[in-house]
Structure 1
């Protein structure tokens, strides 16, 4: 009888131990799943170059092509992203506009390039539900916006994305910049978009940290970087914490060399950077790209990975 009771107690103890271990494994599993689900996606600004030239391997764009094709993936884990919100310099509207169809064709908004550059495809899906949620979030923040199910993805979207993620397997929501080019409004837009990073949605800004079309045409290969001072200002601003970053960026046009880098009424290529800086959270950004196009025009790219 004593042997039987001891055996029974032993079985009960073994059962308790087994259930405890099982419970611990279940907790670990769901904790791990929760952590995976809660990965904070980055906010990243990239330079997209001139028209389709990064895709054509044009010599003055090789550094940019290499960065988009090979380097971005070292900073962004595309396998865990739920979607991408992409703010493009090539879509200016009076109110923030959001692509909202399940599929968007490409909008070839460049001229005079080889015939094959008008046959590109990039078949990543859209995400109408996410588009609606972005609009609601903007409305709650007092920012006017509209959904646009018709406009195609312009080259500010498909040129960098064909290099960054050629598999086209991540949903993309294209978002416009504002035609008023107001830096404070663009920073506020980014601050609203920040919340989606917590859901595993990356925020990508596609523009140029230097964009002066006249200089691009007439001042190549001078042997001198024409915007070194302004580029260093951008670096210091973007690698600062949120308060200083905002303070510096909303007065960008008063900086030395600002209007040479982005002429009056033609600063649309800087606006995506300001949006991404707004989506960066409290911490400083990191410069992950710094390269001189044609040995003359210094371009910088930035990423924000933390809260």
Structure 2
């Protein structure tokens, strides 16, 4: 009887130990799975302003500076991002061109500003492996592209990013727009890039929803918003689901006020928005920025949070 009782106790102990180990392994498995889950990163369009003005405390850029510095992080969890693909209006090429070095110096592509604006640093790393993968995916989609390890990051990259993420600890791959300014091609570029969002890689478009240099000079503080109709069109398009969004943006230049907002052959600042809209997925986007520069030029920013 003593032997039987001892054996029974041993069996119970072994069972308890076994169940404890099993529970620990199950718990470890599920908590590990949670840790390994990657949140879908957003696609975001931001306005980068005039040259380095948002970085200089310019009073006319105050609303834009505050949005980039304080508001973007409320919509984008920077801590979750693995990298950023940044499409800039200030790089136009005949084929999609992708920055592909481990580090890129800054390219100060503006003129006539204070000396300190040519000494800025933004030392976020590049990501050659991601650049190669983007090149591969674009090629698979029939979109001509090339890698460029030499060109610096222009102010379409470093001006907004110095405000959005001053710690410069998220890798960035800069991407050009196309000189042909074809809206359907730009939308399809975004469609191809959208798959990277599933890996926690955000896609940011940096341009301006309104960009007419002549009117910037002549209609400041005019007491009226010169692009009200076109801004309303952009909001309708970007807050529509994928099929309608593509249809509307493909004929953006036929809309009221379109060519006054982005003159013929000078729509490079709109192209990043069309890329981001293409990367948005099936669901409607959300307007997260709507502000009037000098009370005359309405600027809008958009985000696509989900991907389906």
TM-score computed with the length of structure 1 as normaliser: 0.97
> Structure 1, residues 248-272: CA drift from partner, whole Å, max 9, x if none?
1111111111111101000000000
Partners of 1:229 and 1:58 in 2: CA distance: 27
Partners of 2:103 and 2:8 in 1: CA distance: 68
Matched with 2:280 is 280
Partners of 1:2 and 1:284 in 2: CA distance: 70
Partners of 2:200 and 2:92 in 1: CA distance: 26
Matched with 1:18 is 20
Partners of 2:105 and 2:7 in 1: CA distance: 75
- Which secondary structure state, in structure 1, belongs to the residue aligned with residue 268 of structure 2? coil
Partners of 1:19 and 1:123 in 2: CA distance: 46
- Which secondary structure state, in structure 1, belongs to the residue aligned with residue 188 of structure 2? helix
**Ranges in structure 1 where 5+ consecutive residues have no aligned partner:** none
Matched with 1:183 is 183
In the TM superposition, residue 4 of structure 1 has moved relative to its aligned partner by 1.2
Aligned: 1:72 with 2:36: no
> Structure 1, residues 38-79: CA drift from partner, whole Å, max 9, x if none?
211111000000000000011110000000000001111111
Matched with 2:57 is 57
Q: Aligned pairs, how many?
A: 305
Matched with 2:6 is 4
- Which secondary structure state, in structure 2, belongs to the residue aligned with residue 198 of structure 1? helix
> Structure 1, residues 199-243: CA drift from partner, whole Å, max 9, x if none?
111100000000000000000111111111111111111111111
Alignment map for 1:244-259 (pairs within 5 Å)? 244-259=244-259
Matched with 1:40 is 40
- Which secondary structure state, in structure 2, belongs to the residue aligned with residue 84 of structure 1? strand
In the TM superposition, residue 2 of structure 1 has moved relative to its aligned partner by 3.2
Alignment map for 1:53-202 (pairs within 5 Å)? 53-202=53-202
Partners of 2:78 and 2:21 in 1: CA distance: 38
Matched with 1:306 is 306
In the TM superposition, residue 28 of structure 1 has moved relative to its aligned partner by 1.6
Partners of 1:22 and 1:157 in 2: CA distance: 46
Range with bigger deviation, 221-230 or 200-209: 221-230
Structure 1 segments, 4+ long, off by >4 Å, are: none
- Which secondary structure state, in structure 2, belongs to the residue aligned with residue 264 of structure 1? coil
Matched with 1:234 is 234
Partners of 1:79 and 1:304 in 2: CA distance: 18
RMSD over aligned Cα, in angstroms? 0.9
Partners of 2:18 and 2:122 in 1: CA distance: 56
